Every structure is written in structure tokens, then in C-alpha cells.
Chain A
Amino acid sequence: MSPFRLFWIFVKVSSFTIGGGYAMIPVIKEFIVDKYKIMKEDEFLDVIVTAQTVPGVIAINTAMILGSRLAGLWGAFFAVLGASLTPFLIILVIATFFTDFVDLPVFKGFFAGARVGVTVILANLSFQLLKKSLKRYLVLMVIAAGTVAIVFFNISSIWILLLCSALIYIIDRRLAR
């Protein structure tokens, strides 16, 4: 895959990521897995998981891993450039000309609506990922407990990721026996 194509994919991804790194995951998945079929869903998830296990901006971590997997060092460079360029330019324009835009009803309305859209695409992604495990009640319970721990008890997501995965790993082992 050419580094420039990666650059464009990440320009598009970062342009439509409103409200943080997680909103980006369904958008990247659509490009890489569903539309261009560059990776399988499992491979893609491995990239997402790896990006979360270390500190740093998740979007940039993801861009780096995907870029280097698909097109080596230049791939990583151009993916990261694509992911950071649009936000950089947009913020520069806003900071220079209109800081007050936050109070404009048009922006408020757009943001409020788009956040509903982001919720929907994230919910849809969660369903897709759980589809294969709908009958594994223990696994579902672990995931539900992890979600509650993050949302209501503000426990750091990295610990929940590790703890939930460890429990699921043990469950898988037990069932395999």
C-alpha cells in the first residue's frame, strides 16, 4: 500500500473524528476493513488493542502501527502526518480568527447532533464486535462489569482492559478443557 494512500485515509479519518480518539475507531475500521479490505477484522482489532496498551495519543499510536504494518517506515510517517495535519490546521484557523465560535448556535447544534451520531457508530461497532460472543454469557458479564467500572467508578481503562482480558483468557482456557 502506498504511503500517500494511507495519508489520505488518515486525513479523512481525523477530519470526521469529533469528540476524542474512540470515535475514530469505527471510521478507520470502515476504511481499512470494510471498504478497502486491507485487513481482516481480527488483525485490525489487534492494532487497536496494541495502540491502547501504551501511553500516547491513541489516534497517533493507531496511525503509527497501521502505517508501519501496511507500508513500513514511510507508511508510519505519512499516516501520522495525515492524522495530525487536519486537526492542526483547523485549530490554527479557529485560534486565529474566531475563538467565540463555540457560542454560535450553528456550531452548538452541529456538535450536539454529531455527538449523537458518534454514540450511534460506537454502539454499532460494539454490537459488531460482540456478535460472535452473544451466547458466551460469562464473557458478556465480564465485559459489562468492565464497562460499569470505567463509566461509573472512573477506573483507568488500561487496568480494565488488562483485567477483563485476563478473565476472558481464563474463561476460554477453562472451556477448552
Chain B
Amino acid sequence: MILLELFWSFFKIGLLAFGGGYGALSLIQDQIVNINNWMNIEEFLTLISISQMTPGPIAINSATFIGYRIAGVPGSVCSTIGVVLPSVFWIFLILRLLKLSSKWIDTSEVFNALRLGIVALILSATFRIGIESINSIFALILGILAFLTLYKFKLSVIWIVLGTGLVGVIWTALFPI
């Protein structure tokens, strides 16, 4: 039954994917292209670029997309629920573990260190997206201006994302590629 297979494939992806969307991509490719032959690699790559260009977590976007391609709306529902569900298990487990361990050790000190350790992850995401997106002098100037605007006027980060997107639209309209 295809719906169950979809659910199960994406359940496994959610259960094993460490480190967010980019970590999940190779697992998704494995399940979709290599194991189940639901798509060829070209279709898969198109789908990934769509998932990256639309709002929302990449894993959810691609689950919805692949599910729809293979079995319509029911398919998209099954694969999306499949990829979300393992989080329930993992979060329940980690919250329990934290509660238990706080009896034995002082977790606040551990968290003090983790709060700084996480900056390495956020910085690496900044660099990864930055290396790809800031690829011209125009993008660099846009980035610097956006940063100064954010810093000076304390604008909402949502406006920064929408504003830079709009500038991108106007720019491509003025100077077609």
C-alpha cells in the first residue's frame, strides 16, 4: 500500500535526520531515489530547489511535495505526518532525560556551555547561506545595507527578509539575467 510506504519512508527520515534539513537531504534522497525508485535524480533535484525556495522547513516541504507527486493529497498528508511524528518521540525522550539528569548533576552549568556551543552551529548556517547568496558586489552591498538597517532601526527580522527579497525582484526586473 503506497500511502503506508510513504508514511514509513518519511517516518524513518524524521527518526534519523540529525542537524536539520541539510542533514535530512541525503536520507530523503536515499529513500526516494535509491531505495524506492519513486523519482529519478533530476526530478529529485528540482524538488529540492523548490523546497528551498518556498517558506518552511526543507524536510516538511519535500515530504509534502514528494507525497503529492506519488499519491496526491492523501500521499502528501501521510508523508508530512510521517516526517513530523518522530519529533514527538524524540522530544518526549529528551525532556524526560533532562528532568532525570537534573537530579544528579547541575544542568545549568552544562547549558551555559551549550548556549555558547550552539553559536558555532548558527554561525556555520550563516556562512553556508552567505557563501551561496552573497555572490556579487550587489548582494554584498544589499547585505551591508540590510544589516545596518536592522541594527540602527531595530526593524523586525521579517521585514528584513521581505525587503531584501523585494530588492531582489526589482533588481532582476531592471537587469534581467
Contacts and interface: CB of A to CB of B under 8 A. Distances in A.
Nearest to B16: A55
Contact of B166 (A110, A115, A160, A161): A110
A150 B23 CA distance: 12
Contacts of B4: none
B50 A27 contact: no
B139 A116 contact: yes
Interface in B109-128: 109-128
Nearest to A59: B57
A146 B120 contact: yes
Contacts of B87: 56-57, 60-61, 64, 80
Nearest to A170: B113
Interface string A110-121: 111111111111
A17 B21 CA distance: 12
Interface string B117-160: 11111111111111111100001001100110011000011101
Interface residues of B, number: 95
Contact of B113 (A51, A110, A169): A169
Nearest to A20: B21
A115 B91 contact: no
A88 B76 contact: yes
Interface residues of A, number: 96
B84 interface: yes
Contact of A102 (B50, B113, B116, B165): B50
B60 A106 contact: no
A80 B149 CA distance: 32
A1 interface: no
Contacts of A65: 91, 95
Given A91-B65, A95-B65, A114 B120 contact: no
Contacts of B64: 87-88, 91-92, 95
9 contacts: A52-B19, A59-B60, A87-B54, A96-B68, A110-B169, A120-B143, A124-B151, A126-B123, A129-B116
B86 to A, nearest CB: 5
B117 A168 contact: yes
A166 to B, nearest CB: 7
Interface string B80-96: 10011011101101110
Nearest to B139: A116
Shortest Cβ-Cβ A-B pairs, 3 listed = A113-B168, A87-B56, A109-B172
Contacts of B130: 119, 122-123
Given A18-B52, A23-B125, A86-B56, 13 more contacts: A16-B158, A17-B57, A21-B21, A56-B14, A57-B21, A61-B90, A113-B165, A116-B143, A118-B133, A122-B129, A150-B120, A169-B113, A172-B113
Interface in A1-50: 12, 14-27, 30, 42, 45-46, 48-50
A29 to B, nearest CB: 8
B58 A161 contact: no
A165 B117 CA distance: 5
A144 B134 CA distance: 20
A133 B117 CA distance: 12
Nearest to A58: B20
B31 interface: no
